[in-house]
Amino acid sequence: MPRPPMTRRRAWIGSAIALALLAGLGGLAWYLVAQPATTGTGASPGRRVPPLTVGVATAARADLPVVLEALGTVTPNATVKVQAQVSGVLKAVHFKEGQIVKAGELLASIDPRPFEMALLQATGQRQRDEAQLDNARVTLERFKTLLAQDSIARQEVDSQATLVKQLEGTLNTDRANEGTARINLGFTRVVAPISGRVGLRAVDAGNVVGPGDANGIAVITQISPIDVEFAVPQDRIPEVQAQARKATPLKALALDRSRVTALDTGAFVSLDNQVDVQTGTVRAKARFPNTQQALFPNQFVNLRLQIRTEKDAVAVPITALRLGSAGDYVYVVNADRTVSVRQVQRGIATADLVAIASGLKVGERVVTEGADRLKDGASVTLPGEGGGRPAGAASPPTSPGSAPVGPAASSATTPTATPAITPQSTASPGGPAATPSATPVAADHSTVPLPTPEQRKRLLAAVKDDPAQLERRQRLLDGIDRGDPAALERWKSVRERLNAAP
């Protein structure tokens, strides 16, 4: 059946619809391509976005420690296996397992009766030979008198003199045998050769012990003082040696696995005499008094060696320092409430603070929170400021991680407290603290949600095969629980990735 011809009206309608679709697609393409990118201040054409609320801190001078952190092994100064020097029946054990003993203290007793009889026999042999020697000497004197009277032959005198010398040698042998018997009798008293802690008992009373026993009677380990061996990178050997030559010993701090609890405080002792070619490190040793017995032989500890202290360094919170294509930079808050990008050169850093070698002056304020949405010249609002709102207007919502708006906000911009700066590259409540002249104060993090048990489990399970990463994440969680600003700032970004993960 032939198709009816299209009327002119229907053709016009189809063309109009096609043109309308093309116009819509063109407008959409122009909107997507020609629309200006959203700036850090959230500004868009024809609309004024209110300034962002950011957390700030003031650059101040502080004493920052230069430390060396390493994994160390607790090594006792002396370890002795107490072993019987003579064979015999163990009569009594005079120590308890785990007891602290002193050098010379009686540990065990071996049945002394066989050794007493041996000593008595050696003494009797000596006394008999002494009597024979005395008799031979008297006879020799008589023979000499008779020889002077020409009553006997000289041969008899010479034979008697030889007999005297023979008996003298026999007497010396008897005295040595008597001394050996006396020493063996003394060995029946097993005493501690050094002071230290006794381990588990290896033998009980009634057993026959001797010098050939593999386990001995007990093992004594000296635990006070005690050493920690650790590795120093070869690049830092000159720095450590230069400080070790000074009169003041380098301070060493032993921390537990979590780097939170300080086990003991000691001093650096010495370096080894060669570098390990396999690892590029040299072994070093620090000594600790260990009066509380917190360090245990062969225990793994985290050692923190304070090499020196950087005096009066310009310091800011580590969250204020950012890394760009041109290097490290900070956002400096100007007097007109705008921010400027300032290139800086970083120095040493601790867990909370970083030294600025150049590019920043004392008293300048830097952005510590909310810098991800900023750009050079952007307007900002400090915590506690109205930001140009009319009286009675509601306060804008505070973004997570920014300082809360309220009376306490004045402490976010003015350093009113001087907390201690711990001499370490990781903050630790157990570590010794050095008091700076001033310190930057960051904004409150009370609005940051803490990680849930499920999120903690996911964080640790993701790096369970990497001990170093697992330790860093455990430190992050510990810092979050303590309210550490740097840890909370990092948790903000980690939380977004965890929520976006399936």
Q: What's 249's domain CATH number? A: 2.40.30.170
Segment of 28-32, 125-129, 418-422 carrying the highest mean pLDDT: 125-129
Helix (H, G, I), strand (E, B) or coil at 173: helix
Q: Would residue 11 count as lying in a domain? A: no
- pLDDT for the residue 350: 82
Res 401: pLDDT: 36
Domain count, the chain: 4
- For residue 402, is it within any domain? no
What average pLDDT does range 54-68 have in this prediction?
Answer: 90
One domain for residues 103 and 214: yes
Which one is predicted more confidently, 113 or 49?
Answer: 113
What is the mean predicted confidence (pLDDT) over 195-204?
Answer: 91
429-438 b/e (C-beta count within 10 Å ≥ 16 → b)? ebbbeeebeb
Domain boundary residue among 165, 200, 221?
221
pLDDT in tens, 205-224: 999 999 988 889 999 999 99
Average pLDDT rounded to a whole number, residues 175-188: 94
Query: Which pLDDT tens digit goes with each residue over 388-424?
Result: 443 333 333 333 333 333 333 333 333 333 333 333 3
- Stretch 440-461: mean pLDDT, rounded? 65
Q: What is the mean pLDDT of residues 180-204?
A: 93
Sorted by sequence, the CB contacts under 8 Å of residue 297 that are 6+ apart come out as 74, 75, 76, 79, 221, 223, 226
Out of 31-45, 340-354, 461-475, 480-494, which region has the weakest mean confidence (pLDDT)?
Answer: 31-45
Residue in the block written with tokens 């697992």: 470
- The per-residue pLDDT for 202 is 87
Q: Which two tokens stand for residue 294?
A: 């917190």
Give the pLDDT band of residue 48 (cuts 50, 70, 90): low
Q: What band does 431 get if pLDDT is binned at 50, 70 and 90?
A: very low
248/279 same-domain check: yes
Q: Are residues 198 and 174 in the same domain?
A: no
pLDDT over threshold 90, residue 36: no
Band (pLDDT 50/70/90 cuts) for residue 125 is: very high
Domain of residue 270 covers 72-77+222-308
Of 286, 308, 330, the one marking the end of a domain is 308
> Tens of pLDDT along 278-316?
999 999 999 999 999 999 999 999 999 988 888 888 999
420 inside domain: no
Rg (CA), the chain: 43
Question: Is 44 among the domain residues?
Answer: no
Q: What is the CATH number of the domain that holds 140?
A: 1.10.287
Q: 479 falls in which pLDDT band (50, 70, 90)?
A: confident
Residue 131's pLDDT is 95
Q: What is the pLDDT of residues 225-271, one digit of tens each?
A: 999 999 999 999 998 998 888 888 899 999 998 888 999 999 999 99
Residue 313 lies in a domain: no
In a shared domain, residues 120 and 247? no
CA separation for the pair 483, 57 (Å, rounded): 17
Q: Which tops the pLDDT comparison, 335 or 2?
A: 335
pLDDT of residue 501: 52
Range scoring the smallest mean pLDDT among 365-374, 393-402, 473-482: 393-402
pLDDT at 442 over 60: no
Does residue 326 have a pLDDT over 90?
Answer: no
pLDDT band (50, 70, 90) for residue 480: confident
- The lowest-confidence range among 39-48, 398-407, 445-454, 465-474 is 398-407
pLDDT for residue 41 is more than 60: no
Q: Which residue has the higher pLDDT, 467 or 97?
A: 97
Are both 263 and 287 inside the same structural domain?
yes
Residue 441: pLDDT band (50, 70, 90) is: very low
Token pair recorded at residue 341: 């990008």
- Residue 494 pLDDT: 72
**Judging by DSSP bridges, how do beta strands 52-53 and 380-381 pair with one another?**
parallel
Residue 229 and residue 300 in one domain: yes
User: Could you tell me which residue, 45 or 102, shows the higher pLDDT?
Assistant: 102
Residue 61 has pLDDT above 50, yes or no: yes
Give the pLDDT score at 45.
47
Q: pTM for the full model?
A: 0.56
* Over residues 342-363, mean pLDDT: 88
State the chain's mean pLDDT as an integer.
Answer: 80
Same domain, 231 and 288: yes
Mean pLDDT comparison of 40-49, 316-325, 444-453, highest-scoring range: 316-325
**Cα–Cα distance measured from residue 385 to residue 226, given in angstroms and rounded to the nearest whole number:** 57
Q: Residue 469: its pLDDT value, please?
A: 75
Residue pair 357/308 in contact by the 8 Å Cβ criterion: no
Indicate whether 294 and 267 sit together in one domain. Answer: yes
- Is 162 part of any domain? yes
Backbone angles phi, psi at 376, to 5 degrees: -60, 125
| Any domain includes 51 | no
Judge whether 342 lies within some domain. Answer: no
- 130 with 89, same domain? no
Q: State the pLDDT at residue 419.
A: 35
Residues 182 and 293 in one domain: no
pLDDT at 330 over 70: yes
Domain end marker among 175, 203, 221: 221
φ and ψ at residue 73, rounded to 5 degrees: -120, 130
Percent of the chain beyond pLDDT 70? Answer: 80
In a shared domain, residues 209 and 166: no
Q: Which residue has the tokens 């793994």?
A: 300
**What mean pLDDT comes out for the span 464-485?**
77
Please report the pLDDT score of residue 463 as a whole number.
Answer: 72
* Closest to 307 (Cα-Cα) out of 334, 286, 278, 336: 286
Surface-to-core class of residue 308, CB atoms within 10 Å of its CB (0-12 exposed, 13-18 middle, 19+ buried) = middle
- 304 and 245 within one domain: yes
